[in-house]
Amino acid sequence: MAIWNREYETIDRDELEQLQLERLQQTLSRVYRRVSYYKNLFDKIGFDPFDVSSLEDLKKIPYTTKETLRLAYPYDMFAVPLREVVRMQSTSGTTGQPIIVGYTKNDIEHWTELTARVLSAAGVTEDDIIMISFPYGLFTGGLGFHYGAERIGASVIPSSSADIEDQLTIMKDYRVTVCICAPTFMAQLSEIMDIKGISPAELSLKTALLGAEPWSESFRREIEDKFSIKLFDNYGLTEIIGPGVAFECEERNGLHIAEDHFIPEVIDPDTGEILDFGKKGELVITTISKEAYPLIRYRTGDLTVLYPDGCGCGRTLVKMGRVSERVDDMIIINGKNIFPSQFEKIIEDVVGKSVNFQLVLDKKDNIDNLEIQIEISQDIFSDEMKRLTEIEKNISREIEERLDIIPDIKLVEPRTIKRSMKRRRVIDRRNKN
Ligand code: DLL
């Protein structure tokens, strides 16, 4: 498959490190001169941004957290005057104060290049007809991919404001070959097609690029088999740039990080200690080309691992593992720390396919009680009571064995649990009583 920017994506590692160092030096000097937060921080810890001679020096700087960005609302983290900002995007603010990020002309140029790389790595070319089902607006998914897809020269359909049934019609009638969307959208599309009796053979789809939220390997297998298409994962976050930070290539065993623009580290989320390749922890990113909104050692909150370089596709950029959970997804049930994705894995193993589920936490006699609501397919749901009870028992047993928790399992009909992008899987009623 084509490599969009061979010069940078297959760069020699020594050359890459030199490039990173030069860009890091420029970025550190920029933030020191222009962002009071970093000026005060560097002065306080005695860090001289003009005396950086190796990438190791980066480790002397404390991490930047989301809280710092929130406190800087609206523009205190900007490193250029607003007159140089040509675009603003923002986080949704569902978990607190939103964060506004700005882009200069050069930032937009880089972002376009980065999403073009993501698309190219998935085999997208100028011959493709691309449907972008990510929202256009403050969310970075729509516009971020739009520019990259146009840069590739594909025919781009910004369909996302249409409702999903209309998007299905567009997909069919316009002979869309590539869909860029969230996994939730793909799941909904698949359900609607079943309901309407539309066969995937009626579509011209061959590839879908999914990102913006976690999705499982079982989901990949299921959708790929059903639609006879290939799915590619891509990762990014607003604070850093949006989509384009990391992406799967044809090998689909990890996501290449655009290291000529971002320096990744993985740390122990509790102690802040830097972890070696292969050890799971929180991803930390330093931007080294951003002008308007540069961030130094930003804690993303996402849990992943870094794999050393070397990939069958020829890219030399390191890869990160797929993100299935965030540090703040962790829940504590009767003193045990657990991630919702651990339940997902077990349920999928028992049911044999991807599931839409929800965890409801409550207190019963002062003890945490967990109810797991699981959507199952209509045919199983309409099956005899005995079969349903058996599935419930199997899931419950596996969870007890593997996680040492006894949940109440409730199987529910398809489309009972609301799907929406970025939805959290946990409803916690424990403190509301
Ligand atoms: O979701 C940017 C994006 C748009 C990425 C389109 C990919 C495609 P935010 O709304 O700021 O930005 O949310 C960022 O979403 O910290 C992760 O927790 C999660 N996330 C993003 N991509 C993935 C992925 C965009 N591929 C937050 N797998 C991140 C798992 C993901 N989680």
Is 302's C-beta closer than 6 angstroms to any atom of ligand 1? yes
What is the band of 30 on the pLDDT scale with cuts at 50, 70, 90? very high
355 Cβ partners below 8 Å, 6+ apart? 344, 347, 348, 374, 375, 376
Residue 121 belongs to domain with CATH number: 3.40.50.12780
Does residue 122 share a domain with residue 257? yes
Establish whether residue 213 lines the binding site of ligand 1, counting it when its CB lies within 6 angstroms of any ligand atom: yes
Ligand 1 midpoint to CA 421 (Å)? 10
Please compute, for residue 171, the number of CA atoms within 13 A of its CA located in the half-sphere on the CB side.
32
Q: Which residues lie across from 331 on neighbouring strands?
A: 338
Angle of the 183-196 helix axis to the 164-173 helix axis, nearest 10: 80
> Does the pLDDT of residue 365 top 70, yes or no?
yes
Q: In angstroms, what is the span from residue 371 Cα to ligand 1's centroid?
A: 28
Give the pLDDT confidence of 123-152 residue by residue, as tens digits: 999 999 999 999 999 999 999 999 999 999
Q: Count Cβ atoms below 10 Å from residue 59 Cβ, excluding itself.
A: 10
Percent of the chain past pLDDT 70, that is, above it, reads 99
* Residues 160, 104 share a domain: yes
Cα 16 to Cα 262: distance, rounded to the nearest angstrom: 11
Whether the pLDDT of residue 433 is over 60: the answer is no
pLDDT per position as a tens digit, 65-75? 999 999 999 99
Q: How far is CA 17 from CA 14, 38, 295, 299, 315, in A?
A: 5, 23, 19, 22, 15
Instruction: Evaluate: CB of 49 within 6 angstroms of ligand 1.
Output: no
pLDDT, tens digit, for every residue of 306-346?
Answer: 998 689 999 999 999 999 999 999 999 999 999 999 999 99
Do 299 and 274 sit in the same domain of this protein? Answer: yes
Are 341 and 306 members of one domain? no
The Cα–Cα gap between 229 and 206 comes to 5
Examine the domain organization and report whether 129 and 184 are in the same domain: yes
In the predicted structure, residue 226 carries a pLDDT above the cut 80: yes
Final residue before a domain boundary, out of 282, 303, 328: 328
pLDDT at 388: 87
Query: In which band, very low, low, confident or very high, does the pLDDT at 432 lie, cut at 50, 70 and 90?
Result: low
C-alpha separations of 429 from 95, 147, 249, 370, 412 in Å: 17, 43, 41, 10, 20
- pLDDT confidence band for 95 (50 / 70 / 90): confident
- pTM of the predicted structure, to 2 decimals: 0.97
Mean pLDDT within 198-202: 97
| Distance of CA 360 from the midpoint of ligand 1 (Å) | 24
Per-residue model confidence as pLDDT tens digits over 404-422: 999 999 999 888 999 999 8
Place of tokens 């991807």: 354
Q: Is the CB of 134 under 6 A from ligand 1?
A: yes
Same domain, 252 and 335: no
Residue 379 has pLDDT above 80, yes or no: no
300 lines ligand 1 (CB under 6 A): yes
Residue 93 scores a pLDDT above 90: no
DSSP assignment letter at 321? P
Q: What phi-psi label fits residue 235: left (phi over 0), alpha (psi between -120 and 50 degrees) or beta? A: beta
Residues forming beta bridges with residue 156, ordered by sequence position: 130
Angle formed by the axes of helices 385-403 and 340-351, to 10°?
140
What is the average per-residue pLDDT within 184-208? 96
Distance 243 CA to ligand 1 centre (A): 7
141 Cβ inside 6 Å of ligand 1: yes
Single out the residue in 303, 328, 353 at which a domain terminates.
328
Q: How many domains does the chain have?
A: 2
From the CA of 383, how far away is ligand 1's center (Å)? 38
Residue range 275-292, pLDDT digits in tens: 999 999 999 999 999 999
Helix (H), strand (E) at residue 411:
strand 408-412
CA–CA–CA angle 278, 111, 259 (5° rounding)? 30
- 340-357 pLDDT, tens digit per residue, is 999 999 999 998 889 999
Query: Whose Cα sits closest to atom 6 in ligand 1?
Result: 141
Tell me, rounded to whole angstroms, the distance of Cα 345 from its chain centroid.
18
| Interval 188-210 mean pLDDT | 96
Cβ 233 under 6 angstroms from ligand 1: yes
Q: Which atom of ligand 1 is nearest to the CA of 238?
A: 11
227 in the same domain as 173: yes
The encoded tokens of residue 251 equal 């090998």
| 243 ligand 1 Cβ < 6 A | yes
Atom of ligand 1 nearest to the CA of 91: 11
pLDDT band (50, 70, 90) for residue 94: confident
Mutate to test the pocket of ligand 1, among 302, 304, 425 (most ligand atoms within 8 A of CB): 302
Average pLDDT of the chain is 96
CA of 66 to the centre of ligand 1 (A): 15
- CATH code: domain of residue 384: 3.30.300.30
Are residues 54 and 8 located together in one domain of the fold? yes
Q: How far is the CA of 118 from the centre of ligand 1 (A)?
A: 14
Query: Which whole number is the average pLDDT over 69-98?
Result: 94
Q: Is there a single domain that holds both residue 71 and residue 205?
A: yes
The pLDDT of 370-380, averaged and rounded, is 88
Residue 422 CA: nearest ligand 1 atom is 15
How far, in Å, from the CA of 123 to the mean position of ligand 1? 21
Q: How far apart are CA 107 and CA 241, in angstroms?
A: 9
Query: Same structural domain for residues 241 and 387?
Result: no
Is there a single domain that holds both residue 176 and residue 37? Answer: yes
At residue 387 the predicted structure's pLDDT band, cuts being 50, 70 and 90, is confident
Residue after which a domain boundary falls, among 328, 359, 374: 328
- The residue range of the domain holding 408 is 330-432
